[in-house]
Amino acid sequence: MEVAALLDRIRAKQAKIGIIGLGYVGLPLAVEFARGGFEVVGFDVDADKVGQINAGRSYIPDVAEAAIAAVTASGRLRATTDMTQLAHVDVADVCVPTPLRKTRDPDLSYVVQALEAVAAQLRPGQLVVLESTTYPGTTDEVALPMLEARGLRVEHDFLLAFSPERVDPGNPTFITRNIPKVVGGSGPASTEAAVALYSQVVASVVSVSSTRVAEMVKLLENTFRAVNIGLVNEVALMCHKMNIDVWEVIDAAKTKPFGFMPFYPGPGLGGHCIPIDPYLLSWKARQNGFECRFIELAGQVNGSMPEYVVQRIAAALNSVKKALNGSKVHLFGVAYKRDVNDLRESPALDILELLSREGAIVSYTDPYIPTLAHAGRTLESIPFDRAIDAGCDCAVVATDHTAFDYTRIAAMALVVDTRNALKSSMRPSIFRL
Protein backbone atom coordinates (compact mmCIF):
# COMPACT_ATOMS: atom_id res chain seq x y z
CA MET A 1 0.00 0.00 0.00
CA GLU A 2 1.43 3.41 -1.03
CA VAL A 3 0.58 5.08 2.30
CA ALA A 4 2.41 2.40 4.32
CA ALA A 5 5.42 2.72 2.02
CA LEU A 6 5.47 6.48 2.62
CA LEU A 7 5.78 5.94 6.36
CA ASP A 8 8.75 3.65 5.78
CA ARG A 9 10.44 6.23 3.53
CA ILE A 10 9.93 8.99 6.09
CA ARG A 11 11.47 6.93 8.90
CA ALA A 12 14.40 5.96 6.68
CA LYS A 13 14.82 9.64 5.62
CA GLN A 14 14.35 8.59 2.01
CA ALA A 15 11.22 10.70 1.48
CA LYS A 16 11.60 13.77 -0.72
CA ILE A 17 10.21 16.88 1.01
CA GLY A 18 8.60 19.77 -0.87
CA ILE A 19 8.23 23.10 0.95
CA ILE A 20 5.86 25.58 -0.73
CA GLY A 21 6.58 29.16 0.34
CA LEU A 22 10.14 30.09 1.30
CA GLY A 23 9.59 32.89 3.79
CA TYR A 24 10.07 33.11 7.55
CA VAL A 25 8.34 29.74 8.02
CA GLY A 26 9.23 27.74 4.94
CA LEU A 27 12.93 28.52 4.60
CA PRO A 28 13.97 27.58 8.16
CA LEU A 29 11.88 24.40 7.85
CA ALA A 30 13.46 23.50 4.51
CA VAL A 31 16.95 23.98 5.92
CA GLU A 32 16.11 21.91 9.00
CA PHE A 33 14.83 18.99 6.91
CA ALA A 34 17.90 19.19 4.67
CA ARG A 35 20.23 19.26 7.67
CA GLY A 36 18.33 16.26 9.01
CA GLY A 37 19.29 14.21 5.97
CA PHE A 38 16.26 14.61 3.70
CA GLU A 39 16.28 15.71 0.08
CA VAL A 40 14.32 18.96 0.00
CA VAL A 41 12.86 20.98 -2.85
CA GLY A 42 11.71 24.49 -2.04
CA PHE A 43 8.94 26.04 -4.15
CA ASP A 44 8.26 29.77 -4.45
CA VAL A 45 6.76 32.13 -7.03
CA ASP A 46 9.54 34.65 -6.29
CA ALA A 47 12.38 33.88 -8.69
CA ASP A 48 14.75 36.12 -6.73
CA LYS A 49 14.31 34.03 -3.57
CA VAL A 50 14.80 30.84 -5.57
CA GLY A 51 17.99 32.21 -7.10
CA GLN A 52 19.41 33.28 -3.76
CA ILE A 53 18.77 29.88 -2.19
CA ASN A 54 20.33 28.01 -5.11
CA ALA A 55 23.34 30.31 -4.80
CA GLY A 56 23.62 29.42 -1.10
CA ARG A 57 22.55 32.84 0.15
CA SER A 58 20.10 33.73 2.92
CA TYR A 59 17.63 36.62 2.89
CA ILE A 60 16.25 35.92 6.39
CA PRO A 61 18.30 36.93 9.47
CA ASP A 62 17.23 33.82 11.41
CA VAL A 63 18.73 31.49 8.77
CA ALA A 64 22.52 31.57 8.69
CA GLU A 65 23.98 31.83 5.21
CA ALA A 66 26.50 29.12 6.11
CA ALA A 67 23.63 26.72 6.85
CA ILE A 68 22.02 27.31 3.44
CA ALA A 69 25.36 27.13 1.66
CA ALA A 70 26.11 23.77 3.31
CA VAL A 71 22.83 22.06 2.38
CA THR A 72 22.74 23.45 -1.16
CA ALA A 73 26.36 22.42 -1.75
CA SER A 74 25.55 18.90 -0.51
CA GLY A 75 22.61 18.70 -2.93
CA ARG A 76 20.05 18.21 -0.16
CA LEU A 77 18.31 21.55 -0.82
CA ARG A 78 17.38 23.21 -4.07
CA ALA A 79 14.67 25.70 -4.96
CA THR A 80 12.44 26.15 -7.99
CA THR A 81 9.48 28.11 -9.33
CA ASP A 82 8.30 25.07 -11.31
CA MET A 83 5.29 23.74 -9.43
CA THR A 84 5.00 20.69 -11.70
CA GLN A 85 7.94 19.23 -9.78
CA LEU A 86 5.52 18.66 -6.90
CA ALA A 87 4.69 15.40 -8.69
CA HIS A 88 8.09 14.06 -7.60
CA VAL A 89 7.91 14.84 -3.86
CA ASP A 90 6.59 12.53 -1.17
CA VAL A 91 5.58 15.35 1.18
CA ALA A 92 4.10 18.73 0.17
CA ASP A 93 4.29 21.20 3.05
CA VAL A 94 2.37 24.46 2.46
CA CYS A 95 3.88 27.48 4.24
CA VAL A 96 2.32 30.49 2.49
CA PRO A 97 0.85 33.68 4.04
CA THR A 98 -2.79 34.13 5.04
CA PRO A 99 -3.39 37.90 5.22
CA LEU A 100 -6.62 39.71 6.00
CA ARG A 101 -8.67 41.64 3.50
CA LYS A 102 -9.57 45.25 4.31
CA THR A 103 -12.89 43.91 5.57
CA ARG A 104 -10.92 41.83 8.13
CA ASP A 105 -12.02 38.50 6.73
CA PRO A 106 -9.39 35.90 5.76
CA ASP A 107 -7.70 36.02 2.37
CA LEU A 108 -6.92 32.40 1.47
CA SER A 109 -5.81 33.20 -2.08
CA TYR A 110 -2.18 32.15 -1.44
CA VAL A 111 -3.29 28.95 0.26
CA VAL A 112 -5.71 28.15 -2.57
CA GLN A 113 -3.03 28.79 -5.21
CA ALA A 114 -0.61 26.49 -3.41
CA LEU A 115 -3.24 23.78 -2.96
CA GLU A 116 -4.20 24.05 -6.62
CA ALA A 117 -0.59 23.39 -7.54
CA VAL A 118 -0.45 20.40 -5.17
CA ALA A 119 -3.80 19.01 -6.37
CA ALA A 120 -2.70 19.21 -10.00
CA GLN A 121 0.26 16.92 -9.28
CA LEU A 122 -1.21 14.80 -6.46
CA ARG A 123 -0.49 11.09 -6.69
CA PRO A 124 -1.11 8.10 -4.41
CA GLY A 125 1.21 7.85 -1.44
CA GLN A 126 1.79 11.56 -0.84
CA LEU A 127 1.42 13.47 2.44
CA VAL A 128 0.13 17.05 2.26
CA VAL A 129 0.64 19.29 5.30
CA LEU A 130 -0.79 22.77 5.72
CA GLU A 131 1.20 25.05 8.05
CA SER A 132 -0.29 28.40 7.06
CA THR A 133 -2.11 30.00 9.98
CA THR A 134 -5.83 29.95 9.29
CA TYR A 135 -9.28 29.58 10.81
CA PRO A 136 -10.55 26.27 12.22
CA GLY A 137 -12.04 24.17 9.44
CA THR A 138 -9.79 25.30 6.58
CA THR A 139 -8.13 21.91 6.13
CA ASP A 140 -11.47 20.06 6.09
CA GLU A 141 -13.51 22.65 4.21
CA VAL A 142 -11.00 24.03 1.70
CA ALA A 143 -7.95 21.77 1.35
CA LEU A 144 -9.64 18.37 1.46
CA PRO A 145 -12.25 18.95 -1.29
CA MET A 146 -9.59 20.42 -3.58
CA LEU A 147 -7.28 17.44 -3.08
CA GLU A 148 -10.04 14.84 -3.46
CA ALA A 149 -11.52 16.46 -6.58
CA ARG A 150 -9.60 14.18 -8.96
CA GLY A 151 -10.82 10.98 -7.31
CA LEU A 152 -8.10 10.21 -4.77
CA ARG A 153 -9.32 9.61 -1.20
CA VAL A 154 -7.71 10.87 1.98
CA GLU A 155 -6.48 8.18 4.39
CA HIS A 156 -6.55 5.65 1.54
CA ASP A 157 -4.67 7.17 -1.39
CA PHE A 158 -3.04 10.21 0.20
CA LEU A 159 -2.64 11.74 3.65
CA LEU A 160 -3.50 15.22 4.91
CA ALA A 161 -2.58 17.05 8.12
CA PHE A 162 -2.38 20.50 9.66
CA SER A 163 0.62 21.60 11.72
CA PRO A 164 0.65 25.27 12.76
CA GLU A 165 3.90 27.16 12.35
CA ARG A 166 5.35 28.53 15.57
CA VAL A 167 8.17 30.69 14.26
CA ASP A 168 9.34 33.60 16.43
CA PRO A 169 11.52 35.76 14.15
CA GLY A 170 14.59 37.16 15.87
CA ASN A 171 14.46 34.68 18.76
CA PRO A 172 17.90 33.03 19.05
CA THR A 173 16.78 30.57 21.75
CA PHE A 174 13.65 29.00 20.30
CA ILE A 175 14.11 27.86 16.71
CA THR A 176 12.50 25.25 14.45
CA ARG A 177 14.16 22.21 15.98
CA ASN A 178 13.39 22.94 19.65
CA ILE A 179 9.88 24.41 19.39
CA PRO A 180 7.30 21.63 20.00
CA LYS A 181 5.31 20.84 16.85
CA VAL A 182 1.54 20.38 17.06
CA VAL A 183 0.07 17.98 14.50
CA GLY A 184 -3.51 17.02 13.68
CA GLY A 185 -4.40 14.77 10.76
CA SER A 186 -7.53 14.07 8.73
CA GLY A 187 -7.43 10.58 10.21
CA PRO A 188 -5.14 8.29 12.21
CA ALA A 189 -2.90 7.40 9.26
CA SER A 190 -2.43 11.08 8.37
CA THR A 191 -1.59 11.96 11.97
CA GLU A 192 0.86 9.07 12.27
CA ALA A 193 2.70 10.05 9.10
CA ALA A 194 2.89 13.76 10.01
CA VAL A 195 4.14 12.93 13.52
CA ALA A 196 6.77 10.60 12.03
CA LEU A 197 7.83 13.33 9.59
CA TYR A 198 8.35 16.12 12.09
CA SER A 199 9.87 13.78 14.67
CA GLN A 200 12.86 13.42 12.36
CA VAL A 201 13.85 17.08 12.78
CA VAL A 202 11.92 18.51 15.75
CA ALA A 203 12.68 17.57 19.35
CA SER A 204 9.05 17.26 20.46
CA VAL A 205 5.86 16.56 18.48
CA VAL A 206 2.41 16.89 20.05
CA SER A 207 -0.43 15.09 18.26
CA VAL A 208 -4.04 16.25 18.63
CA SER A 209 -7.30 14.61 17.60
CA SER A 210 -8.11 16.57 14.44
CA THR A 211 -7.01 19.25 12.01
CA ARG A 212 -9.57 21.64 13.57
CA VAL A 213 -7.97 21.30 16.99
CA ALA A 214 -4.52 21.95 15.51
CA GLU A 215 -5.82 25.02 13.67
CA MET A 216 -7.44 26.33 16.85
CA VAL A 217 -4.25 25.83 18.87
CA LYS A 218 -2.36 28.42 16.83
CA LEU A 219 -5.18 30.95 17.02
CA LEU A 220 -5.47 30.53 20.79
CA GLU A 221 -1.72 31.06 21.23
CA ASN A 222 -1.64 34.32 19.31
CA THR A 223 -5.01 35.58 20.51
CA PHE A 224 -3.75 35.07 24.06
CA ARG A 225 -0.82 37.36 23.27
CA ALA A 226 -2.92 39.94 21.44
CA VAL A 227 -5.49 40.20 24.23
CA ASN A 228 -2.86 40.52 26.95
CA ILE A 229 -0.93 43.11 24.96
CA GLY A 230 -4.21 44.97 24.50
CA LEU A 231 -4.73 44.88 28.26
CA VAL A 232 -1.29 46.24 29.06
CA ASN A 233 -1.60 48.90 26.34
CA GLU A 234 -4.82 50.08 27.97
CA VAL A 235 -3.09 50.06 31.36
CA ALA A 236 -0.30 52.17 29.82
CA LEU A 237 -2.86 54.74 28.64
CA MET A 238 -4.44 54.69 32.08
CA CYS A 239 -1.11 55.10 33.86
CA HIS A 240 -0.23 58.07 31.69
CA LYS A 241 -3.45 59.80 32.78
CA MET A 242 -2.57 59.14 36.43
CA ASN A 243 1.10 60.12 36.06
CA ILE A 244 2.33 56.59 36.90
CA ASP A 245 5.29 54.91 35.18
CA VAL A 246 3.72 51.79 33.62
CA TRP A 247 7.14 50.21 33.07
CA GLU A 248 7.94 50.44 36.77
CA VAL A 249 4.54 48.92 37.55
CA ILE A 250 5.19 45.94 35.27
CA ASP A 251 8.73 45.40 36.60
CA ALA A 252 7.38 45.27 40.15
CA ALA A 253 4.39 43.08 39.25
CA LYS A 254 6.53 40.45 37.53
CA THR A 255 8.39 39.74 40.77
CA LYS A 256 5.30 37.75 41.81
CA PRO A 257 6.32 34.10 41.28
CA PHE A 258 2.81 32.88 40.41
CA GLY A 259 -0.37 34.10 38.73
CA PHE A 260 1.23 36.87 36.66
CA MET A 261 2.92 36.89 33.25
CA PRO A 262 4.52 40.16 32.09
CA PHE A 263 3.41 41.72 28.81
CA TYR A 264 4.66 45.10 27.65
CA PRO A 265 3.03 48.10 25.97
CA GLY A 266 4.24 49.39 22.65
CA PRO A 267 3.37 51.39 19.54
CA GLY A 268 1.01 48.68 18.26
CA LEU A 269 1.02 45.11 17.01
CA GLY A 270 3.04 43.95 14.02
CA GLY A 271 4.11 40.86 12.15
CA HIS A 272 2.09 38.33 10.23
CA CYS A 273 0.49 36.51 13.16
CA ILE A 274 -0.49 38.48 16.25
CA PRO A 275 -2.33 41.37 14.53
CA ILE A 276 -4.13 38.95 12.17
CA ASP A 277 -4.88 35.67 13.95
CA PRO A 278 -7.47 37.03 16.42
CA TYR A 279 -9.49 38.33 13.48
CA LEU A 280 -9.35 34.93 11.78
CA LEU A 281 -10.82 33.48 14.96
CA SER A 282 -13.49 36.15 15.43
CA TRP A 283 -14.48 35.89 11.73
CA LYS A 284 -14.97 32.14 12.03
CA ALA A 285 -16.84 32.58 15.32
CA ARG A 286 -19.28 34.98 13.63
CA GLN A 287 -19.95 32.34 10.99
CA ASN A 288 -21.11 30.15 13.85
CA GLY A 289 -23.24 32.81 15.54
CA PHE A 290 -20.76 33.78 18.25
CA GLU A 291 -19.52 37.31 18.91
CA CYS A 292 -15.93 37.63 20.23
CA ARG A 293 -16.35 40.88 22.16
CA PHE A 294 -13.21 40.45 24.25
CA ILE A 295 -11.01 39.80 21.21
CA GLU A 296 -12.51 42.65 19.21
CA LEU A 297 -11.98 45.11 22.06
CA ALA A 298 -8.32 44.14 22.38
CA GLY A 299 -7.96 44.70 18.64
CA GLN A 300 -9.42 48.19 18.97
CA VAL A 301 -7.02 49.10 21.78
CA ASN A 302 -3.97 47.73 19.96
CA GLY A 303 -5.04 49.37 16.71
CA SER A 304 -5.27 52.77 18.40
CA MET A 305 -1.67 52.77 19.68
CA PRO A 306 -0.03 54.39 16.60
CA GLU A 307 -2.42 57.32 16.95
CA TYR A 308 -1.53 57.58 20.66
CA VAL A 309 2.19 57.60 19.78
CA VAL A 310 1.60 60.52 17.41
CA GLN A 311 -0.24 62.32 20.22
CA ARG A 312 2.82 61.82 22.44
CA ILE A 313 5.07 63.18 19.69
CA ALA A 314 2.84 66.24 19.37
CA ALA A 315 2.91 66.70 23.16
CA ALA A 316 6.70 66.42 23.21
CA LEU A 317 7.04 69.06 20.49
CA ASN A 318 4.51 71.29 22.23
CA SER A 319 6.67 71.17 25.39
CA VAL A 320 9.37 73.08 23.47
CA LYS A 321 6.85 75.35 21.73
CA LYS A 322 6.94 73.57 18.38
CA ALA A 323 4.08 72.40 16.20
CA LEU A 324 3.92 68.93 14.68
CA ASN A 325 3.19 70.55 11.31
CA GLY A 326 6.57 71.31 9.72
CA SER A 327 8.67 69.57 12.38
CA LYS A 328 11.30 66.99 11.43
CA VAL A 329 10.45 63.66 13.06
CA HIS A 330 12.91 60.78 12.76
CA LEU A 331 12.00 57.18 13.60
CA PHE A 332 14.64 54.79 14.89
CA GLY A 333 13.43 51.39 13.73
CA VAL A 334 10.50 50.61 11.46
CA ALA A 335 10.51 46.79 11.42
CA TYR A 336 7.65 45.30 13.42
CA LYS A 337 9.98 43.91 16.10
CA ARG A 338 13.58 43.97 17.24
CA ASP A 339 16.34 42.64 14.95
CA VAL A 340 14.18 41.42 12.04
CA ASN A 341 13.79 42.68 8.48
CA ASP A 342 10.01 42.23 8.46
CA LEU A 343 7.72 45.20 7.83
CA ARG A 344 4.44 43.26 7.77
CA GLU A 345 1.75 45.08 9.76
CA SER A 346 4.44 47.21 11.45
CA PRO A 347 2.91 49.99 13.56
CA ALA A 348 5.75 52.24 12.43
CA LEU A 349 4.12 52.42 9.00
CA ASP A 350 0.93 53.78 10.55
CA ILE A 351 2.93 56.23 12.64
CA LEU A 352 4.73 57.53 9.53
CA GLU A 353 1.41 57.86 7.70
CA LEU A 354 -0.27 59.73 10.57
CA LEU A 355 2.73 62.04 11.01
CA SER A 356 2.73 62.93 7.30
CA ARG A 357 -1.00 63.69 7.41
CA GLU A 358 -0.28 66.19 10.20
CA GLY A 359 2.39 67.88 8.11
CA ALA A 360 5.50 66.45 9.78
CA ILE A 361 8.66 65.86 7.74
CA VAL A 362 9.47 62.20 8.34
CA SER A 363 12.62 60.10 8.02
CA TYR A 364 13.89 56.87 9.53
CA THR A 365 16.86 54.68 10.38
CA ASP A 366 16.65 50.90 10.30
CA PRO A 367 19.62 48.63 9.51
CA TYR A 368 17.22 45.85 8.44
CA ILE A 369 14.93 47.91 6.17
CA PRO A 370 16.98 49.81 3.55
CA THR A 371 13.94 51.34 1.81
CA LEU A 372 10.18 51.55 2.24
CA ALA A 373 7.27 52.94 0.27
CA HIS A 374 5.60 55.94 1.88
CA ALA A 375 3.09 58.47 0.53
CA GLY A 376 3.76 57.58 -3.09
CA ARG A 377 7.54 57.77 -2.81
CA THR A 378 10.45 55.71 -1.53
CA LEU A 379 12.10 56.55 1.77
CA GLU A 380 15.67 55.40 2.33
CA SER A 381 17.09 54.47 5.70
CA ILE A 382 19.53 57.10 6.96
CA PRO A 383 22.70 55.59 8.48
CA PHE A 384 22.67 55.83 12.28
CA ASP A 385 25.67 58.15 12.69
CA ARG A 386 24.40 60.53 10.04
CA ALA A 387 20.93 60.62 11.63
CA ILE A 388 22.42 61.43 15.04
CA ASP A 389 24.68 64.14 13.63
CA ALA A 390 21.91 65.69 11.50
CA GLY A 391 19.51 65.86 14.44
CA CYS A 392 15.77 66.45 14.20
CA ASP A 393 12.99 68.17 16.09
CA CYS A 394 11.85 64.88 17.63
CA ALA A 395 13.33 61.38 17.55
CA VAL A 396 11.11 58.35 18.08
CA VAL A 397 12.28 54.91 19.20
CA ALA A 398 9.71 52.83 17.32
CA THR A 399 11.65 49.54 17.21
CA ASP A 400 14.37 48.74 19.74
CA HIS A 401 17.02 47.14 17.53
CA THR A 402 20.10 46.02 19.46
CA ALA A 403 22.33 47.70 16.86
CA PHE A 404 21.30 51.17 18.04
CA ASP A 405 23.47 53.16 20.45
CA TYR A 406 20.79 54.25 22.91
CA THR A 407 23.16 56.50 24.87
CA ARG A 408 23.51 58.66 21.78
CA ILE A 409 19.77 58.59 21.08
CA ALA A 410 19.04 59.62 24.68
CA ALA A 411 21.28 62.65 24.21
CA MET A 412 19.19 64.01 21.34
CA ALA A 413 17.15 67.16 21.88
CA LEU A 414 13.74 65.50 22.15
CA VAL A 415 12.88 61.79 22.17
CA VAL A 416 9.65 59.76 22.35
CA ASP A 417 10.48 56.23 23.52
CA THR A 418 7.75 53.69 22.71
CA ARG A 419 9.78 50.62 23.79
CA ASN A 420 11.34 51.70 27.11
CA ALA A 421 14.74 51.41 25.44
CA LEU A 422 15.96 54.52 27.28
CA LYS A 423 14.84 53.44 30.73
CA SER A 424 18.22 54.23 32.27
CA SER A 425 17.93 57.88 31.24
CA MET A 426 15.82 60.27 33.33
CA ARG A 427 16.27 63.37 31.13
CA PRO A 428 13.06 65.45 30.98
CA SER A 429 13.38 65.62 27.19
CA ILE A 430 12.55 61.89 26.97
CA PHE A 431 8.83 61.11 26.68
CA ARG A 432 7.59 57.57 27.27
CA LEU A 433 4.26 55.91 26.57
Active site residue ranges: 273
- In terms of Cβ atoms closer than 10 Å to its own Cβ (0-12, 13-18, 19+), residue 429 is middle
Q: Both ends of the chain: CA-CA distance in Å?
A: 62
AA identity, residue 224: F
Give the Cβ contact number of residue 189 at 10 Å: 22
Residues near 65 by beta carbon (within 8 Å), at least 6 away in sequence: 56, 57, 58
> Count of CB atoms within 10 A of residue 51's CB?
12
Closest CA relative to residue 32, chosen from 2, 70, 5? 70
- DSSP letter for 45, please: S
- Supply φ then ψ for residue 290, to 5 degrees: -120, 135
Beta pairing, strands 377-380 & 371-374: antiparallel
Rounded to whole angstroms, the Cα distance separating 309 from 304 reads 9
Instruction: Give the DSSP H or E segment for 430.
Output: strand 430-432
CA max distance for the chain: 79
Cα–Cα dist 309/427, whole Å: 19
Nearest of 417, 368, 365, 355 to residue 390 by alpha carbon: 365
